[in-house]
Chains A and B, each alone.
Chain A
Amino acid sequence: MSFWEYLGNRHQQLLTDAYQHASAVLQCMVVATLLGVLIGVATYRSDLAGSLATTTTSTILTIPSLAMIGLLIPIVGLGVPPTVIALTLYGLLPIVRNAIVGLRGVDPSLVDAARGIGMSRPAQLLKVELPLAWPPILTGIRVSTQMLMGIAAIAAYASGPGLGNVIFRGLASLGSANALNQVLAGTLGIIVLALLFDAAYVLLGRLTIPRGIRA
């Protein structure tokens, strides 16, 4: 069976997998973004806390994803939970780091001006610092998403959802008729998804970065 025939036969299954893959990544990204920005906001003002946050999140990233998921299985079981936890943890680093860098990069004279005209601390953060730090944070989110696209494939090892299942099935039956097609379809599917997400982020940036600070 040629690759195109394979796609035609299995497109239903592939689309479901792709949808689940995208949905898992998206949901984990939302959680990672919220957590990452919160960690950034909580730590950027202190040198020690800031470097602690970046070191911790980068340590997490050095753990091989297969090992991480393997380690999570005895604790939280199979399926969705280990996938979500692993993806969220991996997604944190770029966001935390960019949030800290972005917030620290806000011109101190602007923060001075914000305080000087009578903004409360939350207002300073929400109206001045976060909007100005948003472009680097958004870059962090893009990097995280690209990374999670690949890592999400490994989640199939813990019976997680997504295109990883197709790849693993293919790898398990190497030499059989459809093995190569399966691996190829899964991999290409992930690439296409990653590109679609990236395009969405470009659009998001257009919509959310104020015209006054757009590069």
Chain B
Amino acid sequence: MPENGRHGASIELENLTKRYPGNTQPAVDNVSMEIKAGEVVIFVGPSGCGKSTTLKMINRLIEPTGGRIRINGEDVTDIDPVKLRRKVGYAIQSAGLFPHMTVAQNIALVPRMIGWPKGRIASRVEELLDLVGLDPGEFHGRYPRQLSGGQQQRVGVARALAADPPVLLMDEPFGAVDPITRDHLQDELIRLQHELHKTIVFVTHDFDEAIKLGDRIAVLRERSHIAQFDTPEAILTNPADDFVSGFVGAGAALKRLNLTRVRDVEVTDYPTVTVDDPLQEIFNRLRSSGTNEILLLDKRGRPYKWLRRGDLMWARGSLARAGTLVHDTVTRDATLRDALEAVLIDNAGRVAVTGRRGEYTGVVDMETLMNSVHELLEADRLEALEAQHELEEARADRTHAEQEGIGGEAKA
């Protein structure tokens, strides 16, 4: 997807190191990684592993003791940090909104600092509030303490995005809100990223959050050593070592279900009839379909009732009393996990899939789910093995080169 790079910028960290005076061990030790433009990379790891420190070195809130940082190929290790930070959005835990300024004033800070004209700032503030799902008219003049935690966090993200920076750094931004709000904010972030294509570096200690949001995840161990840096799928199916699998935790296969959407798997087609069809037609369809059941759609094509053979006998030909109402459907955008949940709850073990306007598109049952999960896991495993193989080759090459060059080059 070439347009993905349109707004983002690549980030390269090269041998980034942070030593605090008085400590023998560096807090961050020789981290190198490449983050592609428009990518969401999650740093995840236990507390104190240096993930936050690594993040803060990217906008030099913490000055690195060694190594280079390049953003879009430009070395920013030695430029004025104030200028650097105005080009890099920064959102933190519990939002960090200035309590003495209104929502609008908070968002306008960076554009004002870089000298945008007043009119442009005002319209940008409205645009951003709209973007993060807050009504500009209502929230514009409020003070942070008049907002809920989730709303504050939205304003925090809006402030970080104000001057349209190519890079967005987020330091456990959703760490202090309740689980339901957090889920909401994560969905919003995914939606935003769909529109904006920023390069986002996101720190969290919650692995599920990492899986949900990340294009790639860097699992960090102490001193910010990268234990594994790969796609969520690869980490779930093929953790690099015990540390990573310990962090992934139990239920990797279940978590894998979160990564696939219903539209990615094959849904079964079910015989359907609509409420307008004559009764005889419904009987015929039931008989010819070979299944025990048929799905009755309402006038707008939405799933309405499951009809069994016996139901029609009982109801003596009246559709109003026959069958069981469809109480749960999933959309094509739902994750397989949601689908599994719906299938497990359903007494017949299947759930109807609906399109954008709620219209019927197919049915997912236990068998479909099991087959797709097996296929997914198998595919992941093959992919991961291939990647590992490549990695080992690359590593072998590097070791080889290092051993060759050990006498000649002095190491920095």
Q: Which residues of A are at the interface with B, using a C-beta cutoff of 8 A?
A: 109-110, 112-120, 123, 127-128, 131-132, 210-213
Contacts and interface: CB of A to CB of B under 8 A. Distances in A.
A117 B145 contact: no
Given A110-B96, A211-B143, 15 more contacts: A109-B94, A113-B98, A115-B61, A116-B92, A116-B169, A117-B86, A118-B86, A119-B109, A120-B82, A127-B98, A128-B98, A132-B99, A132-B100, A210-B100, A212-B99
A116 B93 CA distance: 13
B144 interface: yes
Give the contact-size bracket for chain B.
20 to 34
Interface in B88-147: 89-90, 92-94, 96-102, 109-110, 113, 143-145
Q: Is the interface of A mostly helix, strand, loop or mixed?
A: helix
Contacts of A120: 82
B330 interface: no
Contact of B85 (A110, A115, A212, A213): A115
B85 A117 contact: yes
B249 to A, nearest CB: 29
B388 to A, nearest CB: 37
Contacts of A213: 99-100
B96 A109 contact: yes
A131 B82 contact: no
B147 to A, nearest CB: 11
Contacts of B159: 117
Contacts of A132: 98-100
B204 interface: no
A212 B61 contact: no
Contact of B92 (A109, A123, A128, A212): A109
Contacts of B169: 116
B373 to A, nearest CB: 42
Contacts of B83: 118
B59 interface: yes
Instruction: Name, among A115, A132, A212, the residue most crowded by chain B CB atoms within 10 Å (CB to CB).
Output: A212
B99 A117 contact: no
A109 B156 CA distance: 13
A212 B144 contact: yes
A117 B143 contact: no
B369 interface: no
B200 interface: no
B101 A112 contact: no
B217 interface: no
B213 interface: no
Contacts of B97: 113
A169 B411 CA distance: 86
B160 interface: yes
Instruction: Name, among A115, A116, A131, A210, the residue most crowded by chain B CB atoms within 10 Å (CB to CB).
Output: A116
Contacts of B160: 117
A212 B109 contact: no
Interface in B193-247: none
A212 B101 contact: yes
A127 B110 CA distance: 12
Contacts of B113: 118-119, 123
A212 B145 contact: yes
Contacts of B90: 113, 116-117
Contacts of A118: 82-87, 110, 113
B246 to A, nearest CB: 30
Instruction: Name, among A112, A118, A213, the residue most crowded by chain B CB atoms within 10 Å (CB to CB).
Output: A118
A116 B100 contact: no
23 contacts: A109-B93, A109-B94, A110-B99, A113-B96, A116-B59, A116-B61, A116-B92, A117-B109, A117-B159, A118-B82, A118-B83, A118-B85, A118-B110, A118-B113, A119-B113, A123-B113, A132-B99, A132-B100, A210-B143, A211-B143, A212-B99, A212-B143, A213-B100
A119 B85 CA distance: 8
Contact of B100 (A109, A113, A212): A212
